[in-house]
A and B are shown apart, each in its own frame.
Chain A
Amino acid sequence: MLFDATVDGHAIRVEVRGRDGRYVVTLDGRDLEVDHQETGAHFVSLLIGGKSYEAGLEKRPDGYNVVLAEDVLHVEFRGASRGALAAPRKAAAGPARIVAPMPGRLVRVLVERGQQVEAGAGLVVMEAMKMENELRSPRAGRIAELPVREGQAVETGALLVVVE
């Protein structure tokens, strides 16, 4: 089975073959022989060339977060050959939509509609878990949308600012 995956900025073609705990994973033409054993609902033990890895797997709408000892990587599947995991690809360019990364309260709005901002400029200040966090603009541009006001409580994913 073939997957188009993206991990840590690498777009990569992956093929998985095999069954019953013994698989061959081909990454960019390189074969990894993987002995795979589930060790709990969210954990797997992998033996790759004799090296032992324990990985935690968190299901995400577009793939998995893989929790390893020294790092956490988001593996996104752009589409499987069978279409089961197909997810729409996010646009890389275009307007930047800044959404609330967590539930909290907007303590300050630092910009106005129509204003020009530099990349890295502070847009809004959110309070959550007793800390204030300034959310910054990922790109230079103009504030196109600002559907929030100071003091407002917002949920995760709520649209705060659009910079275009």
Chain B
Amino acid sequence: MKPFRKVLIANRGEIAVRVIRACREMGLPTVAVYSEADRAGLHVRQADEAYLLGPAPSRESYLRIDRVLDVAKSSGADAIHPGYGFMAENPAFAAACEQAGVAFIGPRSETIALMGEKTSARRAATEAGLPVVPGTLQPVRGAEEIRREAERIGFPLMLKAAAGGGGKGLRLVKAAAELEGAADRARSEARNAFGDDSLYLEKAITRARHIEIQVLADHHGDAVHLFERECSIQRRHQKIIEESPSPFVTAELRERMGGLAVALVKKIGYRNAGTLEFLVDEARNPYFLEMNTRIQVEHPVTEMVTGEDLVKLQIRIAQGEPLPFRQEALSQRGHAIECRVYAEDPDRGFLPSPGRIVALRVPGGPGIRDDSGIYEGYEVGVQYDSLLSKLVAYGFNRQDAILRMRRALEEYRILGIKTTLPFLDRVLHHPSFEAGDFDTSFVEKVFAESDRDRERPWDVAVAAAAIRAYCDHLQARVTGEVPASMASGWRRQDWRHPEGRF
């Protein structure tokens, strides 16, 4: 075991900040990297050192293996944490780190390759005894081949990018007539996001829950699971609220899914943190979907209920330390919920909403954690993912966590851009969410309908706006009378505002 000297974080936004915080708490110096668009990024401000990678497009900055390794070498960093997204699941990057003698904080490159290609992951899972959703076992490319496979599997089905993740290149196809258009869009998104437009097809499980299992494995053959996360609240096939434990998972199902996860991890010689995603049908049958070979966006809910710091454990494992606990020592205590705050407009189909954050009020108080990558005055660009922050509430039980999350969402205000904050607050108030009665179609089918007819607090809004307009009008009348000293270029000193500012 050899402790790291310095850690480079090959990422940006809230996850880069999260990793920097873990390193600082471990006494490890940090190196941030950034693109020309991110000079003012919070990760640049919080790291001990920061170096420019290149222009704003990811391809010319955060996806440049050579540039990142050059920075590691010149700054003396002997380990790289990839975060999620960008190069976190790029086997070529992990292999380049291995060759350069820099520790990649994650699994081995061949494991990333095995699990990153969705069809080989499905084969590995089947061999380890995991049930999988019926679908293609090989990637498909041509329109003709896609149509043939679709007819074999039957509708409804899901189109997914074979190289993908994060909802990119993902399409639900309900009938044969929609197939061609959906396939074109999925392939184009996949090509732009991953540089590979091959797809795989899978039977769509209706009324499905999306439940995942967190795993940790060390370099000495030991592996444990850290229970489940419920991720069924999604919009556009991307998670927006996660929690642990899942209100749907029974003790038996938890043990079964945990056992399946550890079996796969041990079978493939997995190392470091990872997540196995499952679809669970109404009869509580789990189907393995895919494995994410990295830290997940929603890892904080697991941290809150297990009391373990997953990012620090990732670093310790990469240093060669054995797992500090056995499965029996782990338990879920209480309940944690995460809400993802995105720069999006929920009233306009979750369209991205870039711009400057002109004002910010952040929640606090008992049981609240805000993993954020923003600050007042920060400019949210169009180049990257629109995740601003992850608000996490911990409670003694689910109801306690829901009540705490609501009050924290109501304290949280972001001005200047549209965000998912008020939408999340309304979801947390929905009776089906409160009852734990939802599946992955909840936002689209159940919530959207009731939300369209919601009572809106328009009287308070009109009062606030009208009083402001009235005050502005009175102010304009006062300042509209320009004193001679100002008109001629001189500034009159106001005794109340000696700086001349208001």
Contact = CB atoms under 8 A, between A and B. Distances in A.
Contacts of A7: 458, 461-462, 465
Contacts of A159: none
A34 B463 CA distance: 8
- Label chain B's interface by main secondary structure: helix
B460 A46 contact: yes
A80 B382 contact: no
Contact of A73 (B415, B457, B466): B457
A151 B349 CA distance: 23
Contacts of A104: 382
- Label chain A's interface by main secondary structure: strand
Interface string B455-475: 011111111111111101110
Contacts of A64: 464-465, 468-469
B465 A129 contact: no
A102 B353 contact: yes
B463 A25 contact: yes
A67 interface: yes
A57 interface: yes
A14 interface: yes
Nearest to B387: A129
Contacts of A140: none
Given A56-B359, A69-B425, A108-B188, A36 B467 contact: yes
Contacts of A34: 463, 467
Interface stretch (A90-98, A130-138, A141-149): A130-138
B229 interface: no
A101 B347 CA distance: 13
Interface in B308-363: 343, 347-349, 351-354, 358-359, 361
A86 B386 CA distance: 35
B463 A27 contact: yes
A134 B186 CA distance: 13
A104 B413 CA distance: 27
B185 interface: yes
Interface string A1-37: 1010101101010101001000101010000101010
B458 A8 contact: yes
Size category of the binding interface on chain A: 35 or more
A130 B384 contact: yes
Contacts of A84: 472-473, 476
Interface string A96-137: 000001111001100000000000000001011111111000
Contact of B192 (A48, A63, A102, A127): A127
Given A3-B469, A41-B359, A69-B410, A55 B460 contact: yes
Nearest to A69: B410
Interface in B42-73: none
Given A32-B459, A41-B359, A42-B359, A56 B415 contact: yes
B422 A77 contact: no
Interface in B444-502: 454, 456-470, 472-474, 476
Interface string A42-56: 111010100001111
Size category of the binding interface on chain B: 35 or more
Contacts of A130: 168, 192-193, 384-385
Interface centre among B168, B185, B462 (most CB of A within 10 A): B462
Interface string B405-420: 0000110011110100
B426 interface: yes
B212 interface: no
A16 B466 contact: yes
A1 B472 CA distance: 12
A134 B361 CA distance: 33
Contact of B467 (A16, A63, A125, A133): A16
B482 to A, nearest CB: 17
Given A58-B358, A71-B422, A73-B456, A66 B168 contact: no
A85 B185 CA distance: 44
Contact of A125 (B185, B193, B361, B465): B185
A66 B464 contact: yes
Contact of A63 (B351, B463, B465): B465
Contacts of A55: 460-461, 464
A18 B370 CA distance: 40
21 contacts: A5-B465, A7-B458, A16-B467, A16-B470, A25-B466, A32-B459, A32-B463, A41-B359, A42-B359, A43-B361, A58-B415, A68-B460, A69-B409, A69-B425, A70-B426, A72-B347, A73-B458, A84-B476, A104-B382, A129-B383, A132-B188
Shortest 8 CB-CB contacts between residues of A and residues of B: A69-B410, A75-B465, A66-B461, A73-B461, A42-B359, A129-B352, A64-B465, A55-B464
